[in-house]
Amino acid sequence: MQKNENSLAPKDASGQPDQAFAILDLELISHLLCPYVQRAVIVLLEKEIPHQRTYIDLSVKPDWFRAISPLGKVPLLKVNGEVLFESGVICEYLDEITPGSLHPPDPLQKAKHRSWIEFGSSLLNEIADFYNALSKELFEQKQHELVKKFSRIELYLSDSPYFAGQRFSLVDAVYGAIFRYFDVFDKIAEFRVFEDSPKAQNWRRSLQARASIQQAVAEDYSARLFTFLKQRQSYLSELVPWHS
Ligand SMILES: N[C@@H](CCC(=O)N[C@@H](CS)C(=O)NCC(=O)O)C(=O)O
Instruction: Name the residue ranges covered by the structural domains of the chain.
Output: 2-96, 107-239
**Residue 34 falls in the annotated catalytic set:** yes
Q: What would the pLDDT profile of 72-125 be if each residue is shown by its tens digit?
A: 999 999 999 999 999 999 999 999 999 999 999 999 999 999 999 999 999 999
Atom of ligand 1 nearest to the CA of 86: 20
Confirm whether pTM is higher than 0.75.
Answer: yes
Q: What would the pLDDT profile of 213-227 be if each residue is shown by its tens digit?
A: 999 999 999 999 999
Question: From CA 217, how far away is CA 146, in angstroms rounded?
Answer: 23
Architecture of the structural domain at 107-239: Up-down Bundle (1.20)
Question: From CA 100, how far away is CA 111, in angstroms rounded?
Answer: 18
Exposed, middle or buried by CB within 10 Å (0-12, 13-18, 19+), for 156?
A: middle
Ligand 1 interacting residues, C-beta cut-off 6 A: 31, 34, 36, 58, 72-75, 86-88
CATH class of 2-96: alpha beta
Q: Which residues of the chain have pLDDT under 70?
A: 1-22, 242-244
Compute CA 223 distance to the chain's CA centroid, rounded to the nearest angstrom.
17
Question: What is the whole-number distance in angstroms between the Cα of residue 159 and the centre of ligand 1?
Answer: 32
